[in-house]
């Protein structure tokens, strides 16, 4: 039977949340407006016009929620800091109540013997900065550096584990090109600028933490998907290679000192040309202590001449008649192994932590019980692949489940449930799912 002790005594087992998805208290205690607060006001952008204003009310319930982390047996709690709670206008005056809140969360973790992992940016840019161009602005690095410095000076004596960015490909593409996420922009030049700023920010953030926090362990996270060509036709293989550059190589390779990937790819030609106008491109590199992999599914790609630049489209799991989650994401634990293998192959990657992995299913509360067998099976399969990776010598040193509790799942609103704990969003009642009890058994028995 699978058990956590098979991974070694020093393996990090954690659970993850994010400020915008969990905290609530969006316009209280001095917090400023974030891009997700603003984006959620636009009709039709989020399912059922849901808003993150209350979410899980973690702001008021953090003590009870951290007790649940402890009860389930996790040793690590990964959470993010709301930029607009610290700096309501993104820059300028510091909100002391916001600063104090995270001190209280950190102190509670330490009191419970839980290791706090801070994510500095998990998609919730202050709206005041978005009004000035957001991630596409040439001022972004200055703004971000100030925010990171405040966090490092405030919390660095108590927190030694830091994550700079959460999934830069996610928030740049969905927010600045496809318009599906906040701030809802659809502009190629804006997207190119946002990419380059995120690459610079992940490195600069790392340097700031290294400077201010003694004995820090510093990482950043990437959303990753194995890209599989639909056939052995050259067009499909080339399309898969282009998608692989965007999804898996675009942000890690500059961080490793390899610059942006070069390829026969019109989009990358545009990016290389765009960044020539910028100074300090050598500052894209930083020697991270670990890389965070966030993997949920592989994608199968075929050539499509009607899609601009990338000329590729994915074939849905349902169409291919393979197992999938409630969001239509393919379930493929062998692919999880291969994506770990892919990132471990980079020479300068010292360590890998799976900083997010989990699954959304249609959970039903029946007589006080959520019997989420599919989620348990998902974790069993993926953790077996993780163990194989560990036993095969791949440098993976931790796994953080997404997520502690059902929350505001971005443009899916409150429809998509990933949690180990079920949340009734009307009453805020928490109910541990059977998958949560499975984790407790896995970690503690």
Give one DSSP letter per residue of 167-186, joined into a string: -HHHHHHHHHTS-SSTT---
State both tokens at 227: 């890209």
Maximum CA pair distance of the chain? 62
Enumerate residues 6+ apart whose C-beta is below 8 A from 68.
404, 405, 421, 430, 432
For CA atoms 38, 329, 360, 58, give the dihedral sign: negative
Name the catalytic one among 108, 204, 226, 356. 356
E strand residue ranges, 225-339 = 227-229, 290-295, 299-303, 312-314
Nearest to 52 by CA among 123, 101, 144: 123
Whether residue 282 lies in the annotated active site: no
For residues 337 and 274, the answer to whether their CB atoms sit within 8 Å is: no
112/401 Cα distance (integer angstroms): 19
State both tokens at 314: 């994915």
How many angstroms separate the Cα of 334 from the Cα of each of 102, 225, 237, 330, 390? 38, 12, 20, 11, 14
Three-class secondary structure of residue 161 per DSSP: strand
Nearest to 400 by CA among 293, 305, 308, 307: 293
Name the catalytic one among 167, 253, 330, 409. 167
How many angstroms separate the Cα of 144 from the Cα of each of 69, 107, 134, 202, 351? 30, 25, 10, 10, 25
127/82 Cα distance (integer angstroms): 12
Whether residue 167 lies in the annotated active site: yes
Catalytic residues: 167, 356
């Amino acid at each position: 039977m699978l058990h956590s002790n098979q991974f070694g005594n020093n393996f990090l087992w954690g659970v993850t949340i994010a400020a915008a998805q969990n905290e609530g208290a969006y316009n209280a205690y001095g917090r400023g407006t974030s891009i997700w607060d603003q984006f959620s006001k636009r009709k039709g952008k989020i399912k059922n016009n849901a808003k993150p204003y209350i979410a899980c009310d973690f702001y008021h319930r953090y003590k009870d929620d951290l007790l649940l982390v402890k009860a389930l047996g996790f040793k690590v709690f990964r959470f993010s800091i709301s930029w607009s709670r610290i700096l309501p206008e993104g820059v300028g005056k510091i909100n002391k109540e916001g600063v104090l809140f995270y001190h209280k969360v950190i102190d509670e973790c330490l009191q419970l013997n839980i290791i706090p992992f801070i994510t500095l940016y998990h998609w919730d840019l202050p709206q005041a900065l978005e009004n000035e161009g957001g991630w596409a602005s040439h001022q972004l690095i200055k703004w971000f550096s100030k925010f990171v410095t405040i966090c490092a000076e405030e919390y660095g004596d108590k927190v030694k584990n830091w994550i700079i960015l959460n999934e830069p490909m996610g928030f740049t593409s969905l927010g600045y090109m496809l318009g599906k996420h906040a701030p809802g922009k659809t502009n190629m030049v804006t997207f190119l600028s946002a990419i380059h700023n995120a690459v610079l920010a992940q490195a600069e953030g790392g340097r700031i933490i290294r400077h201010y926090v003694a004995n820090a362990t510093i990482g950043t996270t990437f959303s990753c998907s194995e890209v599989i060509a639909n056939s052995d036709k050259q067009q499909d293989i080339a399309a898969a290679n282009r998608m692989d550059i965007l999804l898996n190589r675009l942000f890690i390779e500059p961080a490793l000192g390899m610059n942006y990937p070069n390829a026969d790819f019109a989009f990358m030609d545009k990016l290389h040309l765009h960044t020539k106008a910028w100074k300090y491109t050598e500052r894209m590199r930083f020697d991270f202590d670990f890389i965070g992999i966030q993997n949920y599914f592989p994608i199968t790609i075929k050539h499509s001449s009607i899609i601009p630049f990338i000329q590729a489209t994915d074939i849905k799991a349902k169409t291919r008649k393979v197992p999938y989650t409630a969001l239509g994401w393919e379930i493929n634990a062998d692919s999880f192994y291969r994506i770990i293998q892919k990132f471990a192959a980079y020479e300068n990657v010292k360590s890998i932590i799976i900083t997010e992995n989990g699954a959304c299913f249609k959970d039903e509360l029946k007589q006080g019980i959520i019997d989420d067998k599919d989620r348990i099976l998902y974790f069993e399969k993926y953790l077996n692949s993780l163990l194989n990776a560990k036993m095969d010598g791949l440098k993976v040193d931790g796994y953080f489940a997404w997520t502690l509790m059902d929350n505001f799942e971005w443009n899916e609103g409150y429809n998509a449930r990933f949690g180990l704990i079920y949340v009734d969003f009307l009453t805020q009642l928490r109910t541990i799912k059977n998958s949560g009890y499975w984790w407790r058994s896995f970690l503690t028995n």
